[in-house]
Amino acid sequence: MNILKKILLFFIPIKFILNKYNPIFVYHSLGITSNFNVNIDHVDLKTLEKQLKYIQKYWKFVTIDEFVNVKNKKGLTSLTVDDGYKNVINEALGVFEKLEIPITIFINSSTFKGKVFWRDKVRYLIQHKMIDKFIKSSKLFNENDINNFYYISKNPKFNSKQVEKEIDDFISNENLKVSSSHNFCFDSEKYLINHPLVTYGNHSANHYVLSSLNKEEQYQDILECKNFLGRFDINRSNIFCLPFGGVNTFNEDTISVLNNLNYKTLLLTENKLNNFSIKHKINRIMPKNLAINFFLKKLYLKQIIDNKI
Ligand SMILES: [Zn+2]
């Protein structure tokens, strides 16, 4: 960030943000140390505590369901955690208890069965320089997709289930052993704890790009996670958290399926401050390891310039 911009940001009063927006947070891995590869969004506990203490000076943390249901949202914020990393329960919970902050963890139910996350299979093929060979065997992709495979494989025009099936066939034909970064995610019911500060929510069974699936496939993937959560004596959220979280990762079928399953609100992950007045969709921000005050002000400035809302 250049110095002029930094000075400009410094002089934006937090009050301006407070009057119009809620910073709704999304974190992923939260813990003491990170043994993870660079692809995982990890925040250490010291940074987390510092960020949350700063936010508590201006906003009150409530659960995401409370936030959605309350009429006057001014001065409220909420903390969500996606994908169900074990360290959130094993290591970060103490921070939330100390600061008395309620959290909602959005899980993928397939991780409880030890299933390898399909994005890890994609990453494996890239890291092992096997994309060329895979694409030769593929009916979905062609040579033009080789260099851009990580992104093209999550483009909504390719059905994620079919992509995973093709990769699974390839992995089995080639006798490959693929390990899962989701070994770091909940793989046992012991992570579903009954705790006054912890709520669990639906992030779909397999974290597919929903807009790439047909309506029935979307229905099944959302229902499977809903049914799974229904079996436990835990606090449950009535909000659905969209896998990948971008506006291109859901469509009209998603909205219709969610209505059928009684989910009225959708969580997005577009790094935008949530505007009070928008209903049924909640924008979230990913602070990562950034200095939280500058991060908020930067987003604020970007949004008033971009949207004029
Ligand atoms: Zn996710």
The pLDDT tens digits of the residues spanning 55-105 come to 999 999 999 999 999 999 999 999 999 999 999 999 999 999 999 999 999
Distances (CA, A) of 46 to 30, 91, 94: 10, 12, 12
- Tell me how far the alpha carbon of residue 84 lies from the centroid of ligand 1, in angstroms: 9
Q: Is the pLDDT of residue 35 over 70?
A: no
Q: Is the pLDDT of residue 1 over 70?
A: no
Quote the pTM value: 0.93
List the structure tokens of 76. Answer: 């409220």
List the structure tokens of 59. Answer: 């906003």
> Confidence band (pLDDT; 50, 70, 90) for 37?
low
Average pLDDT over residues 162-172: 96
- Tell me how far the alpha carbon of residue 106 lies from the centroid of ligand 1, in angstroms: 8
Tally of residues, the chain: 309
Average pLDDT over residues 13-25: 93
Write out pLDDT tens, residues 221-278.
999 999 999 999 999 999 999 999 999 999 999 999 999 999 999 999 999 999 877 7
- Tell me how far the alpha carbon of residue 82 lies from the centroid of ligand 1, in angstroms: 5
Q: Say what the pLDDT of residue 39 is.
A: 59
Average pLDDT, the chain: 92
Q: Residue 195, exposed/middle/buried by CB under 10 A (0-12, 13-18, 19+)?
A: middle
- Tell me how far the alpha carbon of residue 99 lies from the centroid of ligand 1, in angstroms: 25
- Tell me how far the alpha carbon of residue 244 lies from the centroid of ligand 1, in angstroms: 6
- Tell me how far the alpha carbon of residue 100 lies from the centroid of ligand 1, in angstroms: 25
Q: Say what the pLDDT of residue 160 is.
A: 97
- Tell me how far the alpha carbon of residue 243 lies from the centroid of ligand 1, in angstroms: 5
Question: Which residues sit with Cβ closer than 5 angstroms to ligand 1, an ion?
Answer: 82-83
